[in-house]
């Protein structure tokens, strides 16, 4: 593997060198995971930098979203539209372990940075491609963004959020982009392990659509025995409303009406209002539900008794009556008062914390670290997903300035002489 100058040798992926061709969030987030684990991640950007550097920011070239998605990396600016730029990549890849890319389908081939081209130069290369729809099916090869994948993959319908006109509202979190980045990092780590054992390279693919479908939990799964109880009933009702010309709101409401609200579990695994804010109950076991009941003073809930059928209409009325009691009870105290009682009882509950408050909260603030940017100064970011002992996982820097590492990468990785670098700079091939 290549020698990394950025991370101490104890870091898990120290010595791994990654060349990242990326936009927006899925591949950049995968690169963050690898950088956090010690890899030397070199982000290749076009002249002027990735477009998202300048999206909604008062600081030219250093938008907050870009900083978040590119910490710990180096920036190398290459004009890949010039043949000399592609030649630079081909020279660098000889000393690269991993290529990570999420360009639109077909772009890698046009730019000469596809797997076939690069693996011919370095046969043991690990090449990770994140795409929209995967390599099969009628939409394979088409581009897709996070919200498109969420719509195709069922996540938008699962949330069942509607705007004032009854149109679907996409989920607030990018459950296509970010989990795809994690999946790519996991696949790359597995491929690196296999290469250590066999010497073989790998070409791996992650699609936003499949990732979203994974995030759909068992709702996406089809299994005939259990499905007779609920899923088949929901499917028949959806078909009936669809045949009758039902609106989107009519269709997505079926799952809420028949599947979720009538479930006894939803009483204690749901969100509620308190006197001064929101909180959620998160009980998945009967013992946890009993702990919540003890705090709320509910002693006549039959929903955990053997034989209680939540699909029975009379039992559904019982569940709804209990829900009304819980709502009324929780409105009697503040979030802080309820949380003290739930914590004392060992009951799973949480205040609904705004993202802007996380850096100051006594618990969530423990998951932050401080980085120093030469552009914007000190910043707080969430620590790496995985902590290892004794191997550290920690980014060594904030997001890079445009082209800050071009000369260093060309010199140390590509073996370029200063005269060659000046020639490339004068031709506008690199910045």
Residues noted as catalytic: 177
Give the N- to C-terminal CA distance of the chain in Å, as an integer: 27
* Maximum distance among all Cα pairs of the chain, rounded to whole angstroms: 83
- Neighbour-count burial of 218, counting CB atoms closer than 10 A to its CB (0-12 exposed, 13-18 middle, 19+ buried): exposed
3-state secondary structure of 33: helix
A 10 A CB-CB count for 258 gives 18
Could you give the C-alpha distances from 134 to 50, 139, 152, in angstroms and in order? 24, 8, 12
- Neighbour-count burial of 333, counting CB atoms closer than 10 A to its CB (0-12 exposed, 13-18 middle, 19+ buried): middle
Alpha-carbon distance 15 to 93, whole Å?
A: 15
Alpha-carbon distance 124 to 199, whole Å?
A: 7
Alpha-carbon distance 360 to 205, whole Å?
A: 39
What number of CA atoms fall less than 13 Å from residue 51's CA on the CB side?
A: 3
């Amino acid at each position: 593997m290549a020698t990394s100058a950025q991370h101490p040798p104890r870091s898990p992926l120290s010595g791994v060198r990654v060349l990242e061709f990326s936009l927006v969030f899925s591949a950049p987030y995968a690169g963050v995971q690898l950088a956090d684990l010690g890899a030397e991640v070199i982000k290749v950007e076009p002249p002027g930098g990735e477009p998202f550097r300048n999206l909604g920011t008062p600081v030219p070239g250093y938008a907050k979203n870009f900083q978040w998605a590119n910490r710990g990396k180096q920036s190398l600016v290459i004009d890949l539209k010039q043949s000399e730029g592609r030649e630079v990549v081909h020279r660098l890849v000889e000393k690269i372990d991993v290529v990570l890319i999420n360009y639109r389908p077909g772009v890698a081939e046009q730019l000469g940075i596809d797997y076939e081209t690069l693996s011919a130069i370095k046969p043991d290369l690990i090449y990770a491609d994140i795409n929209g729809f995967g390599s099969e099916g009628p939409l394979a090869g088409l581009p897709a963004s996070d919200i498109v994948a969420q719509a195709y993959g069922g996540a938008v319908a699962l949330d069942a959020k509607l705007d004032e006109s009854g149109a679907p509202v996409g989920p607030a979190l990018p459950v296509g982009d970010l989990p795809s980045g994690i999946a790519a990092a996991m696949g790359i780590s597995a491929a690196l392990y296999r290469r250590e054992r066999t010497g073989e390279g790998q070409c791996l693919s992650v699609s936003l659509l499949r990732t979203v479908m994974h995030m759909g939990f068992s709702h996406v799964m089809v299994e005939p025995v259990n499905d007779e109880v609920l899923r088949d009933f929901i499917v028949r009702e959806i078909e009936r409303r669809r045949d009758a010309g039902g609106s989107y709101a009519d269709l997505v409401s079926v799952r809420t009406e028949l599947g979720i609200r009538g479930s006894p579990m939803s009483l204690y695994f749901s969100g509620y209002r308190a006197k001064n804010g929101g909180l959620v109950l998160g009980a998945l076991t009967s013992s946890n539900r009993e702990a919540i009941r003890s705090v709320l003073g509910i002693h006549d809930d039959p929903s955990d008794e053997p034989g209680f059928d939540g699909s029975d209409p009379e039992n559904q009325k019982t569940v709804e009556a209990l829900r009304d009691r819980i709502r009324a009870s929780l409105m009697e105290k503040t979030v802080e008062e309820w949380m003290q009682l739930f914590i004392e009882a060992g009951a799973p509950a949480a205040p609904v914390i705004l993202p802007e408050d996380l850096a100051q909260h006594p618990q969530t603030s423990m998951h932050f670290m401080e980085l120093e940017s030469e552009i914007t100064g000190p910043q707080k970011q969430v620590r790496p997903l995985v902590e290892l002992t004794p191997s550290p996982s920690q980014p060594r820097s904030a997001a890079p300035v445009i082209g800050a590492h071009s000369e260093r990468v060309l010199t140390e990785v590509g073996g370029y002489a200063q005269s060659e670098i000046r020639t490339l700079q004068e031709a506008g091939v690199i910045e």
